Amino acid sequence: MIMSELTPAKTLDVQGLFCPIPVFKAKKLIEEVRQGEILEILATDETTKMDIPDWTRRAGHDLLEVKEEDGIFKFYIKKC
């Protein structure tokens, strides 16, 4: 998927928060996103590189892209 297609319906900024808070907040916010829409998560905790993809897979959503820019991890999750 091309980045221009990754327009998030909601953005969750959990920069500065540590595990498990980013996953808990993502679980809650994804409920506000419609099926097929994208949730963007911005995080700085290194453990989110494992925790967010694991949660996404277990919850049955699609992890479309993960990237790092200047120490900020960006996750794009499509709600299924």
Q: Is the peptide bond before 22 cis (omega within 30 degrees of 0)?
A: no
Q: Which residue has the tokens 């993809």?
A: 53
Count of Cβ atoms closer than 10 Å to residue 5 Cβ = 10
Kindly list the catalytic residues. Answer: 19
5 Cβ partners below 8 Å, 6+ apart? Answer: none
